[in-house]
Structure 1
Amino acid sequence: MTARKAWRRVDGVLLLDKPTGMSSNSALQAARRLFSAAKAGHTGTLDPLASGLLPLCFGEATKFSVDLLAADKTYEAELQFGVRTDTGDADGAVIMHCPVDFGESELAAALHRFRGPIRQIPPMYSALKRDGRPLYELARQGIEVEREAREVTVHELRLLNFSGDRCRLRIACSKGTYVRSLAEDLGAALASAAHLTALRRVAVGALSIVDAVTLDQLAEMPESDRAAWLLAPDTLLQSLPAVSLDGPAGLRFVHGNPVTTAALPGRCRVYADACLLGLGEVDEVGNLRPRRVLSVR
């Protein structure tokens, strides 16, 4: 009889380099087992087709996972022109063939139209919901519904290389940007078609793929070495200003009470004696109110 796994409290952030062909939840559960973590969550899904940076949260860090959902993302994408699929990526069925009658200069000129604030219609194969049902469920049944265009921002759109009917792009964009839709729209702008053949996420906010580890690497190392890959829970809050409290004020804060501070209004990460207490928000008159507080061991 197989012994039940002993789960334990693990607090921290793991920068995982997710492989292609694996869902974000499957990657999360695999990492959770490697760390024997009792509680785990991720900071937003990465499609099975895509590889790259997937920040995972264990224990108390899960309280701050939502704060990374709104962060900008950076991708390296591979596109094929002349072919359109029903999903906008290589997993879908081919529904259109078009000629590719443009060169690198025309492609570079077309890219300019997709920099800055743009409006996108979300794809049918997405997790957005209509009447409580994900759009991809409707799409699999051959049902297409009207979707409202949404504004997103493309901060960087750089051509890495172009050869024949394929190109590689570097894309830095705001939350809610669909790279598949960007590929299709770019193909249409060139009087052709396009779909995404590969996607790799290389950054989420200030977090970079260069600091990430793979599941295979974790599995091969001794269990005692894995903890070195865990970052502190406040890794997810580095974009926020820090506020330090003295002992009595820190105690009031962790018990859910507001304290007075000279900090500027807005959200902040709160410390006492260099230890993270949680996430707070300062109002216009200097009241610092707890929003999410860490549990004390």
Structure 2
Amino acid sequence: MTARAPRTRVQRRPVHGVLLLDKPLGLSSNDALQKAKWLLRAEKAGHTGTLDPLATGVLPLCFGAATKFSQLQLDAPKTYEAVALLGTTTSTGDAEGEVREQRAVDPAQLAPERLAALQARFTGRISQVPPMHSALKKDGKALYEYARAGVEVERAAREVEILRLALAPSTTEAGQPALRIEVHCSKGTYVRTLAEDLGEALGCGAHLVSLRRTGTGGLGLAGCVTLAQLEAMDEGARLGCVLPVQTLLADHTAITLDEQEAGRFLTGLRRRGPWPDAPAVAVYAERPRALLGVGHVRGGELIPDRLLSPLEIQQILQGAPSADPASTGGH
């Protein structure tokens, strides 16, 4: 019997920044995160909200100091492209479920004026009942766990906001009538439920057959990398894909502090200065230029909210050129 070769232990290291991953079909967000973390040999990592295994597209992964700001992406509006198959409803609202009902699709239902009226009706604040096949929790247990056990639980409708909606008639590869959906929406919006509700409003029913996230909080597919591309790279190229921590802070007002003020701010002290009130500011040290953390300004007072540790700042400054705040134009 051949003895097994000992497993090589991965030597972890501090990595600070954001990796924009184009998540593949069929992989959970956490599995994608763990794979990327292993490829980068990163010590600490977290994602910015789950993307269904059946969905592909933009999944920002946070490493090291960037995990402190992951909530910003979690709360950010999202953009999706989806296709709903018309005429068939399923138990899950997507292609994985059992067929529940089939109805004929009248081409008149997809007339431009009908779709324009539907777009208007579903744009703005709308009410959604979360699907049973979702990670939302009821009494400490995910809804999909109840669904797998064949138990339907009552769910309260929730208000979400559809900021922009575009609908167009389409067909599947098999030539079946479908609806193409482009939606820019608030956090917590279920595109699967939107597809089902649109199908009901058309009078024929529908279920989601494809879903791709094309943007989240100003981050889009253009800057994304796939796991396959990462695997094919050498280590240096992989690290080169990691964007600076402040990539997550693009909509924050920048404030730069001199050495003394930066030191005080890093200890959590409020600072006074000629700054206008601002709900979200990114605070930088002047020399060497480095991100210190985020805060807000009220009444001429800079109030810290989340701070990087001195060790994190030191590691970022000693890291790869991609982690240099100046390379982003100094926000």
TM-score bucket (shorter structure): over 0.9
Offset of residue 289 of structure 1: 2.0
- Per the alignment, in what secondary structure is the counterpart of residue 46 of structure 2? strand
Aligned counterpart for 1:187 among listed residues 190, 196, 199: 199
Contact 1:111 1:186 in 2 (8 A): no
Matches within 5 A, 1:96-111: 96-101=101-106, 102-105=109-112, 106-111=114-119
Question: Who is 1:43 aligned against?
Answer: 48
Larger radius of gyration: 2
Aligned partners of 2:111, 2:68: CA distance in 1, in Å? 46
AA at the equivalent of 2:300: G
Distance 1:191 1:161, change over 3 A: closer
1:280 aligns with 2:280: no
Matched AA of 1:35: L
Contact persistence 2:169–2:177 (CA under 8 A): no
Match of 2:212, SS state, is strand
- Residue 305 of structure 2 is aligned to residue 291 of structure 1: yes
Given the superposition, is the C-alpha separation of residues 103 and 25 from structure 1 closer, same or farther in structure 2, using an over 3 Å criterion?
same
Report the Cα distance in structure 2 between the residues aligned to 1:287 and 1:41, rounded to whole angstroms: 32
1:270 aligns with 2:283: yes
Alignment counterpart, residue 254 of structure 1, candidates 247, 256, 266 = 266
The aligned counterpart of 1:6 is 11
Q: Is residue 53 from structure 1 mapped to residue 66 from structure 2 by the alignment?
A: no
| C-alpha distance after superposition, 1:231-264 (max 9, x if no partner) | 1001111111111111111101111111113321
1:235 counterpart (240, 244, 247)? 247
CA shift at 1:160, angstroms?
4.5
Equivalent position to 2:97, from 92, 99, 114: 92
DSSP-derived class of the 1:48 partner: coil
Q: Give yes or no for contact 1:154–1:172 (8 Å, CA) kept in 2.
A: yes
Aligned match for 1:178, one of 190, 198, 201: 190
- Kindly report structure 1 stretches of 4+ aligned residues shifted beyond 4 Å: none
2:243 matched to 1:209? no
* Worse overlay, 85-94 or 50-59: 85-94
1:161 positional shift: 4.3
Are the counterparts in 1 of residues 274 and 300 from structure 2 also a CA contact under 8 Å?
yes
- Larger deviation: 56-65 or 265-274? 265-274
1:219 positional shift: 0.6
Structure 2 CA distance, aligned partners of 1:148 and 1:209?
Answer: 34
Note if contact 1:104-1:162 (Cα within 8 Å) is conserved in structure 2.
no
Range 29-38 or range 153-162, more displaced? 153-162
Determine whether 1:151 maps to 2:159: yes
Structure-1 residue corresponding to 2:81:
76
1:66 equivalent in structure 2: 71
Is the partner of 2:166 in helix, strand or coil? Answer: strand
Structure 2 residue corresponding to 1:122, chosen from 124, 130, 144: 130
Q: How far apart are residue 220 of structure 1 and its match?
A: 0.6
Q: Is the 8 A contact 1:161 1:169 kept in 2?
A: no
- What amino acid sits opposite 2:180 in the alignment? R
**One-letter code aligned to 1:95:** R
Code of the residue aligned with 1:276 in structure 2: it is L
The answer to whether the Cα contact below 8 Å between 1:81 and 1:194 also exists between their aligned partners in 2 is: yes
Q: Gapped runs of 5+ residues in structure 2?
A: 1-5, 315-331
TM-score where L is the length of structure 2: 0.86
Unaligned runs of 5+ in 1: none
Query: Considering only aligned residues, what root-mean-square deviation do their CA atoms show, in Å?
Result: 1.4
2:25 corresponds to which of 8, 20, 29: 20
Q: TM-score, normalised by structure 1?
A: 0.96
Deviation at 1:59, TM superposition (A): 0.7
Distance 1:237 1:295 in 2: 17
Q: Could you say what secondary structure the match of 2:104 adopts?
A: coil
Distance 2:179 2:136 in 1: 28
Distance in 2 separating the partners of 1:182 and 1:211:
28
Cα offsets for 1:93-145 (capped at 9, x unmatched): 11111221223333343232111211111111111111111111112222222
Bigger shift: 54-63 or 117-126? 117-126
Task: Tell me the matched-pair count.
Answer: 296
